[in-house]
Chain A
């Protein structure tokens, strides 16, 4: 009964009903048995009450200032991301399998980064084509040969997953640069505990509030050898015009570290210092939320006023740790993504536990031909795009949009990949006329420090609020939900 095919038309939208994570495939009268209690809660709580709680949560978010800016939308400089009151739930065994896959994948991502900026064995041994790595703008030759402490490059990864059935999880993309959204994971949970306390009595939900401690431990664990026993960490933001500024200040507050802009930092003698009223203070670890291009004008974009001159020299000298390390963008390029099964096998000797979605690399002529012939069925993405920008969803696109993408693909095929339109799972979501199924994706946050990889039991669930829509990005009208990870029966799982 479940969609068996890994991809293709049997799980394609419109051909078969999507899997609902609470109601299953049998409709809302026969929910999945493990979640029958949650289904009863949805039925028993009047829509007006759900709506009241949802508005209370959104009012609190607005008061906190959890807003984001929408690029290209002059009317709405700052909005809150809509919040949905019905949680999304992972069973303990589902989560255990997912976590294993995430750990394996993030270990491979770090091994890959350490290799491509060093010996590049994976290219020499013919696993990846040289131009895919070295011709890629996300590969930064400026930092070749430099090694971050403990060989950790991508300390914070956001791995975007989608689900098509009870045990069918797929990685949709890896975010290894500066993934955002963790503040929503934490704020959504606080709101749920306040507004729906009964759910936390009915279910043993793994707490997520240990995230910031875990992050601080991770940051300190990768401090440079000369930093001493209490390394000084900071969060570097491009400033309050950035769409994720709220999250930058939220994280700095919760970590108990300074929030700084480039102008607050100086490099002297290959050491980074922070200017304070009391004089300058040495900085050991920088959690940067700015792109590589804006880190250091002497090495990257010379016209950038945002950067810290000398920062890369301090990094190369081993006097400061940059989180994530410069150059990690190569690991979240979507053409590289299509090789992740080979990358995992190359570094771990194992098969990837989390599959990827079938991907046509438009740089390859046969793939391009197939994609051009099936534009109305496929999702087409820029290899280095994010936020749902530069993306075509074939089944819901207009003829004009398809024609524009066709022209773009023919002109610059190497910039695009295409994937089948998956029947993303749905989760019951409060709409205007009661609770209805809406498509979701999921971004868990994976931390890597000196002693290994950790997965926070939770993450950011994004929901496409429009009926039938598959685009969950907040910049494109998506909302968020809390993500419950249920604890197993054995008490030791709590640890």
Chain B
């Protein structure tokens, strides 16, 4: 399937900033299941951009801007060709072994409630994961509110609605509590972003099953990952896979506005 992605990130500051340094994880990598046909990042001011990779193998772009500056607009536009996926992610750059993803982080620590919830999933590892993948969507109403970046999996579990970010973090915490390595994935998806009123970067999860590999799950929609998904970055939690980690030198408040459009393009069928 040929997908076009337009992803706009806009920051505005209440006071001029002297300097901005941001780490962007906005660029997908080629895998066996997705080929990047074209991809570009445009910034609406005089910025220096540097490509690199982080420890998880994600493509990164460092963004350096000298002030005074009162706002930035980062426009990402690209086309990706995706193939049929059987749920198992293949051909990703893996600098770290699955064992690393068995550890928890402050954002993804399973408390007793999550662990008990996870323990209800029975069977072989893949069956357990598939049952978890439907359980969260049953328990929580999907929220399209802006994700709260400080919210931990345990805090999210105490609520009644959950954003995709929280669904994915809870899934990751639950899978790890069953002894299965799991990680957070950020990226885009044809249908989920269309359903949201204010679309933003989507979040889902991957869990590792011995002998099979990394398998993608989208607990927000209780379905496996298919060719409507474009995988951008992964990490132990949402923060490590976040599209933007930023720092600014200057006082005042900031406002963030994000818009994502994912469209299916014609003529891309293979």
> Is B23 a contact partner of A144 (Cβ separation < 8 A)?
no
Q: Is the CB of B21 within 8 A of A134?
A: no
B96-130 at interface with A (beta carbon < 8 Å): 96-97, 99-100, 102-103
Q: Within the assembled complex, what's the spacing in Å between the Cα atoms of A270 and B53?
A: 13
Distance in Å: Cβ of B240 to nearest Cβ of chain A: 8
User: Do the beta carbons of A316 and B53 come within 8 Å of each other?
Assistant: yes
Closest 9 pairs (CB-CB, A-B) = A130-B99, A309-B247, A144-B55, A309-B21, A145-B95, A134-B100, A134-B99, A298-B23, A142-B55
A269-B64, A297-B247, A298-B246 given; A317·B239 CB < 8 A:
no
Nearest CB of B to A317, in Å:
6
Contact with A along B48-59 (1 / 0, CB 8 A): 101011111100
Chain A 264-291: CB-based contact to B (< 8 A → 1; otherwise 0) = 0011111000000000000000000000
Nearest neighbor of B242 in chain A, beta-carbon distance: A302
Determine whether the beta carbon of B103 is less than 8 Å from that of A134: yes
User: Which residues from A are CB-within-8-Å of B57?
Assistant: 145
Number of interface residues of A (CB under 8 A): 30
Chain B residues with Cβ under 8 A from A145's Cβ?
Answer: 53, 55, 57, 95
22 A-B pairs with C-beta separation under 8 A: A123-B99, A131-B102, A134-B96, A135-B103, A137-B103, A139-B100, A140-B55, A141-B96, A141-B236, A142-B55, A144-B55, A145-B95, A269-B50, A270-B50, A270-B62, A298-B246, A298-B247, A299-B23, A313-B23, A313-B52, A313-B60, A316-B52
Restricting to A128-173, which residues have a CB under 8 Å from any CB of B? 130-131, 133-135, 137, 139-146
Q: Is B138 an interface residue (CB 8 A)?
A: no
- Cβ contact within 8 Å between B21 and A310: yes
A322 to B77, CA, bound (A): 36
> Would A130 and B97 be within 8 Å (CB), given that A266-B19, A298-B247, A309-B247 are in contact?
yes
The reply to whether A144 and B50 form a contact with Cβ atoms under 8 Å apart is no
Give the interface SS of chain A, mostly helix, strand, loop or mixed: loop
**Inter-subunit contact B48/A269 (CB<8 Å):** yes
Question: Smallest Cβ distance from B18 to chain A, in angstroms?
Answer: 10
Residue B245 lies at the interface, judged by CB distance under 8 Å to chain A: yes
Contact with A123, one of B50, B54, B66, B97 (Cβ below 8 angstroms):
B97
Q: Mark A305-335, 1 if CB is under 8 A from B, else 0.
A: 0000110010011000000000000000000
Tell me how many residues of B have a C-beta within 8 Å of chain A: 29
Give residues in B with beta carbon < 8 Å to A.
19, 21-23, 48, 50, 52-57, 60, 62, 64, 66, 95-97, 99-100, 102-103, 236, 239-240, 245-247
Residue A352 at the chain B interface, CB threshold 8 Å: no
CA–CA, A316 and B59, complex, Å: 12
- The complex places the Cα of A134 from the Cα of B230 at a distance, in Å, of 28
Q: Apart from A135-B103, A269-B48, A270-B52, what are 17 other A-B pairs with CB-CB below 8 Å?
A: A120-B97, A123-B97, A123-B99, A134-B103, A137-B103, A142-B240, A143-B55, A145-B57, A266-B19, A267-B64, A268-B64, A269-B50, A269-B64, A297-B247, A298-B247, A316-B53, A317-B52
Please report which residues of chain A, range 385-409, place their CB below 8 angstroms from some CB of chain B when the two chains form the complex: none
Bound together, the chains give a CA A269 to CA B65 distance in angstroms of: 9
Q: How far is the CA of A72 from the CA of B54 in the complex (A)?
A: 37
Chain A residue at minimum C-beta to C-beta distance from B54 = A142
A310 vs B62: C-alpha distance when bound (angstroms) = 8
Alpha-carbon separation in the docked complex, A141 to B235 (Å): 9
**Cβ–Cβ < 8 Å partners of B96 in chain A:** 134, 141, 144
Whether A313 contacts B99 by the Cβ 8 Å rule is no
Distance to closest chain B CB from A389 (angstroms): 22
Complex Cα gap A144–B97 (Å): 11
Once bound together, how far apart are the Cα atoms of A309 and B23, in whole Å?
9
Quick check: A268 and B23 within 8 Å, CB to CB?
Answer: no
Contacts of A298 in B (CB 8 A): 21-23, 245-247
Nearest CB of chain A from residue B95's CB, rounded to whole Å:
4
Q: Are the C-beta atoms of A313 and B55 separated by less than 8 Å? A: no
Q: How far is the CB of A245 from chain B (nearest CB, A)?
A: 25
- When distances are taken between beta carbons in the complex, the residues of chain A under 8 Å from B99 are 123, 130-131, 133-135
